[in-house]
Amino acid sequence: MRKIREVLRLSKDLQLSDRQVAQSCRMAHGTVANYLLRAKHAGLTWPLPEDLTDSGLEELLFAKGTFHGKHNGRAEPDWKTVHLELKRKGVTLYLLWDEYRQSHENSLGYSSFTDRYRAYRKTVTPVTLRQDHKAGEKAFVDYAGMTLPITDASSGDITQAQVFVGVLGASNYTYCEVTPSQTIPDWLGSHRRMLEFFGGSPEIIVPDNLKSGVKSACYFEPELNPAYAEFAQHYGVAIVPTRVRKPRDKAKVEAGVRFIEEQILAALRNRTFFSVREANDEVQDRLVPFNAKAFQKLEGSRKSVFEAVDKPALKPLPLEPYVISQWKKARVGTDYHIEVEKHYYSVPFEHAGKQVEVRLTTNVLEVYLDRGRIASHARKPDLPRYKGRHSTLKEHMPPQHQKGLEWTPQRYVDWAAKTGPSTAQVVEKIMASRDHPQQGFRACRGLIQLGEKYGPSRLELACRRALAIRGPSYRTVKSILMGGLETLPLPEDPPTPLPVTPIHKNVRGSSYYKTSKSDDTSLPSTPPLEA
């Protein structure tokens, strides 16, 4: 305002020409003419009133009414339309000026056109903020600072649910939802539902540097989380994180978060919610009138501007929605299995000892090495009965392990039955002595090798002798064959001894029953009966 006062003083008081004033004030001749024209239409004279402040002078010179109608016989453009048209792709001030010039005989020059538009833009700065955004170009995402308390109906415990907010740059069209946490599945799920709410994908998504989206924050080359990068590829968008500690890079969503907190979350501060779904339904219901609410300094609402500007410029969504995934790193053990959530999944045995990447979805687990998929399994639920268990595919096993896998308990029994009944009985006893039949497979394979070395007839005799001496095991049979003991007579079972009568004073011996009563003088005589 100091320079404007100087322009008025030099022109009105000293009667200098516009060019002389421009040289003195170090500004363009057209700018001086513009200021003087504004002062004329505002009815200002020199000297200015002493109580006229700079803000009052600015209001008089740059009031909205000075930009409409005609000045010096030149038609004034509709600046509201110009402001909205600039949000469309490829639209520039020069193009709009050229269209305006062709439709008006006495039009403004390009410099005056641009100056007047910039002056108009200052009057709507609280709505458009500091950044100009093209239609369908950017969506800004963040979590609100306020949370919603969720009360457990049974225990009364309270947890804090998060509020995700997404805002389209050109129209300020806003999406928000309530999620249990800020983890990767919730983060990506909110993104997917936001794009479905918009009905299309923007060119760029601008997030903060939270760990769910950005693996490593860097000013020049931030590294995205693999799942977030996969999401971007699926929807054909670019992820451009903000600079660290630069909230103005996402001023749109910062303002959107503030509006959501003030107009939706604050109104729910005294509500008690018993589930995230209940809270989310309430927030979504309040989001509809929020987007339909009219702007204060612009015509229309978030919804109407979105329908007119952003929606036509969004890219169509893919036919299949993105399947939310998580990525982890794991190292293949010597048994060609990786551990994920305390369950073991096989990979091809030649990759034993290597570090791999694991992609987890709700139902599928995939293993990647050097960006190529090397294994895929049905994901086991995170339940106690699956802890410590193995999911092994036959094609992942080395040939020798595959060969061993072809043997089953019944196949071992069938082989033994062909050798002889004693061999079959030894095999059955070996498997029965283990907690699981497969634990006896190695001993049974040892019997097969003994049969190949010593012949089936000797093996049958050795098994017969092992049963006779109550030692049905691989070691016993091997010892018998090595010592050539299978042809010796089988030991006879000793006669079963009769039970021995215990010695006790109340137990009568056999001699008692061999003695006659008449000869027994040890017993007193029975007294005669009295008459």
Structural contact between residues 346 and 358, judged by C-beta atoms closer than 8 angstroms: no
Q: DSSP H helical segments within 62-124, as ranges?
A: 79-85, 93-103, 110-123
Q: Using CA atoms, how far apart are residues 45 and 364, in angstroms rounded to an integer?
A: 79
Structural contact between residues 213 and 187, judged by C-beta atoms closer than 8 angstroms: yes
Q: Residue 254's pLDDT is what?
A: 77
Structural contact between residues 205 and 169, judged by C-beta atoms closer than 8 angstroms: no
> Interhelix angle for 456-468 vs 441-454, to 10°?
130
Q: Residue 432's pLDDT is what?
A: 82
| Residue 87: partners with Cβ closer than 8 Å, 6 or more residues away | 132, 133, 134, 135, 170, 171, 309
Token output for 451: 């049969």
> b/e for 363-383, b at 16 or more Cβ within 10 A?
eebbbebeeeebbebebbeee
Q: Using CA atoms, how far apart are residues 106 and 70, in angstroms rounded to an integer?
A: 10
Distance in angstroms between the alpha carbons of the first and the last residue of the chain: 159
Q: Using CA atoms, how far apart are residues 170 and 298, in angstroms rounded to an integer?
A: 13
pLDDT in tens, the chain (531 residues): 677 778 878 787 778 888 887 887 778 877 888 888 888 877 777 787 777 777 777 777 776 444 444 455 567 888 888 888 887 767 788 888 888 888 887 788 888 888 888 888 877 655 444 556 788 888 888 898 889 999 998 888 999 999 999 999 888 899 999 999 988 889 999 999 999 999 999 998 888 776 665 654 444 345 677 888 888 889 999 888 876 555 555 566 678 788 888 888 888 888 899 999 999 999 999 999 999 998 887 788 999 999 998 899 999 999 988 888 888 899 998 888 999 988 999 999 899 889 999 998 888 999 999 888 999 999 988 888 888 888 888 888 888 766 655 567 777 888 888 889 988 888 888 888 876 666 677 788 888 888 888 898 898 899 988 888 888 888 889 898 998 888 888 776 555 666 666 666 676 666 666 655 545 444 444 444 443
Handedness of CA 298, 299, 303, 305 (dihedral sign): negative
Tell me the HSE value of 268 on the side-chain side, using a 13 A CA sphere: 24
> What is the chain's alpha carbon radius of gyration, rounded to the nearest angstrom?
47
Q: Hey, what domains does the chain have and what are their CATH numbers?
A: 2-128 (no CATH), 138-313 (3.30.420.10), 326-399 (no CATH), 407-487 (no CATH)
Q: Using CA atoms, how far apart are residues 204 and 237, in angstroms rounded to an integer?
A: 5
Preceding peptide of 47 cis, ω within 30°: yes
Q: Using CA atoms, how far apart are residues 277 and 286, in angstroms rounded to an integer?
A: 14
3-state secondary structure at position 408: coil
Q: Using CA atoms, how far apart are residues 38 and 72, in angstroms rounded to an integer?
A: 11
Q: Using CA atoms, how far apart are residues 229 and 72, in angstroms rounded to an integer?
A: 57
Count of C-beta atoms within a 10 Å radius of residue 141: 23
Long-range CB pairs of 224-232, under 8 A, 24+ apart, other chains included = 225/184, 225/327, 226/327, 226/357, 226/359, 227/184, 227/188, 227/324, 227/325, 227/326, 227/327, 228/184, 228/187, 228/188, 230/322, 230/325, 231/188, 231/191, 231/192, 231/322, 232/205
Count of C-beta atoms within a 10 Å radius of residue 251: 17
Structural contact between residues 174 and 198, judged by C-beta atoms closer than 8 angstroms: no
Q: Residue 37's pLDDT is what?
A: 83
User: What values do phi and psi take at 415, rounded to 5?
Assistant: -65, -45
Q: Using CA atoms, how far apart are residues 184 and 170, in angstroms rounded to an integer?
A: 28
381: which DSSP letter? Answer: P
DSSP string, 436-494: SGGGGHHHHHHHHHHHHHH-HHHHHHHHHHHHHTT--SHHHHHHHHHHTGGGSPPPPPP
Structural contact between residues 443 and 472, judged by C-beta atoms closer than 8 angstroms: no
Structural contact between residues 39 and 61, judged by C-beta atoms closer than 8 angstroms: yes
3-state secondary structure at position 335: coil
Q: Using CA atoms, how far apart are residues 373 and 528, in angstroms rounded to an integer?
A: 112
